[in-house]
């Protein structure tokens, strides 16, 4: 399929699935355990019904907005996605470059396969760094210092990862990062010669921001396993307060689904609250983010911006999220599928699809600008996002 024939994020997902070995695709695509939350995230958006306005001039929909205190070309943030160099070499840089060209914030994962400095140099734009909280506080501090020195405007602290989820697709496929060929994966890799050639030409991906990280004392453990074993399950409110005091730029907290947590976080002085369940990759059975969003928005009471990820696949999902009170959505798998299918051009195609769908949805809803999207669009029995 040619990129011009990709008319939806699902089309790009199908292209990525054909191009990638099964183990690599499943790592990107899969969720935890029975993948109940993975499916619920999509269903949460699909169940939201809109009531369009009519007789409104919508000939030129305006997507421009502000996200966490700065201008953006659309209410979309690129969410952090780890290990994506396993899908396409330099995929982190590719997606970040597209985000910069289109005027969107880009979030680099702790487990990215391009470094903090490389993305800043080669992509630029509005950059946020997503921090996994590790027991090695000195190493975490070093990551924060590197992000600040490279000009990253925001730090996104992931709160919903006290331990790694059980992703059974990866276990069945024998998938690890770095890639380690063995009898279960050799045939899988060999049946995708285009992907194999790229990996041989560019070298296997590695977690560039974790070079020198020790974590586990087990020399046989992969870097991913070391990170999982080194997550700080004791990280609490006092620790977050100390982190807030050390990081003086924008601080966004990711992984929030409870209203009482959102209320307390807003009082703590964070700059943004990110409703997320990690794309269904951690706790299976967790509430869908679209279902959690209204209560979080009510609890925050406009004190800080609220973002949402997990399950966003259509431009109309952006309208749904904003009507529920979010300032912006964050997309991870959408641009990842595009990059895995065709590199930078594929990532750009993914965002073009979402931009076009968002403009069309705004026109059909009778909302000439992002500012006009509010809870009046929601079906009455869905409930109001705002008090």
The owner of tokens 């409930």 is 383
pLDDT per position as a tens digit, 333-382: 999 999 999 999 999 999 999 999 999 999 999 999 999 999 999 986 65
Catalytic choice (47, 59, 202, 278): 278
Look up residue 369 and give its DSSP letter.
Answer: B
**Residue 26: pLDDT above 90?**
yes
- 260-292 confidence digits (pLDDT tens): 999 999 999 999 999 999 999 999 999 999 999
Q: Which string of DSSP letters, residue by residue, matches 34-83?
A: T-HHHHHHHHHHHT--B----S---SS-B--EEETTEEESSSEEEPP-TT
pTM for the structure as a whole: 0.94
Half-sphere exposure of 369 (CA within 13 A, CB side): 5
Domain ranges of the chain: 3-382
Predicted local distance difference test score (pLDDT) of residue 228:
75
- 3-state SS of 1-36 is CCHHHCCCHHHHHHHHHHHCCHHHHHHHHCCCCCCH
Mean pLDDT for 101-113 is 97
**CB of 152 within 8 A of CB of 116?**
yes
Strands 70-72 and 65-67: what pairing? antiparallel
pLDDT tens, position by position, 124-170: 999 999 999 999 999 999 999 999 999 999 999 999 988 889 999 99
The candidate with the shortest Cα–Cα distance to 91, out of 14, 250, 205, is: 205
Domain 3-382 CATH class label: alpha beta
User: How do beta strands 306-308 and 272-275 pair?
Assistant: parallel
Q: Are 270 and 251 in contact (CB under 8 A)?
A: yes
Residue 31 has pLDDT above 60, yes or no: yes
Annotated catalytic residue 278? yes
């Amino acid at each position: 399929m040619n990129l011009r024939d990709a008319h939806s994020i699902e089309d790009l997902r199908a292209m990525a699935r054909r191009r990638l070995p099964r183990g690599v695709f499943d790592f990107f695509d899969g969720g935890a355990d029975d993948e109940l939350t993975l499916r619920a995230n999509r269903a949460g958006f699909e169940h939201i019904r809109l009531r369009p306005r009519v007789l409104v001039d919508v000939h030129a929909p305006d997507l421009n907005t502000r996200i966490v205190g700065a201008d953006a070309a659309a209410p979309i943030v690129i969410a952090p996605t780890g290990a994506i160099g396993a899908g396409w070499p330099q995929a982190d840089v590719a997606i970040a470059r597209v985000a910069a060209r289109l005027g969107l914030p880009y979030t680099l994962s702790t487990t990215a396969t391009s470094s903090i400095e490389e993305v800043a140099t080669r992509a630029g734009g509005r950059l946020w760094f997503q921090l996994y909280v590790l027991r090695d506080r000195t190493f975490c501090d070093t990551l924060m210092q590197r992000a600040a020195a490279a000009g990253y405007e925001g730090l996104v602290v992931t709160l919903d990862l006290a331990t790694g989820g059980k992703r059974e697709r990866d276990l069945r496929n024998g998938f690890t990062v770095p890639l380690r060929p063995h009898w279960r994966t050799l045939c899988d890799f060999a049946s995708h010669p285009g992907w194999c050639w790229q990996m041989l030409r560019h070298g296997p991906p590695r977690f560039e921001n974790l070079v020198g990280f020790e974590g586990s004392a087990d020399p046989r453990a992969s870097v991913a396993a070391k990170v999982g074993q080194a997550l700080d399950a004791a990280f609490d409110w006092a620790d977050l307060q100390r982190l807030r005091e050390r990081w003086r730029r924008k601080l966004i907290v990711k992984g929030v689904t409870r209203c009482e947590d959102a209320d307390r976080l807003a009082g703590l002085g964070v700059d943004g609250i990110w409703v997320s369940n990690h794309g269904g990759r951690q706790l299976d059975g967790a509430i869908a983010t679209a279902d959690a969003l209204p209560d979080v928005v009510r609890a925050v009471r406009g004190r800080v911006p609220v973002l949402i990820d997990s399950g966003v696949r259509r431009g109309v999902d952006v309208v749904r999220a904003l009507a529920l009170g979010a300032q912006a959505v964050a997309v991870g798998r959408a641009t990842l599928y595009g990059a895995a299918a065709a590199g930078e051009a594929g990532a750009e195609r993914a965002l073009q699809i979402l931009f076009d769908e968002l403009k069309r949805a705004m026109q059909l809803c009778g909302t000439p600008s992002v500012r006009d999207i509010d809870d009046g669009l929601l079906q009455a029995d869905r409930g109001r996002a705002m008090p």
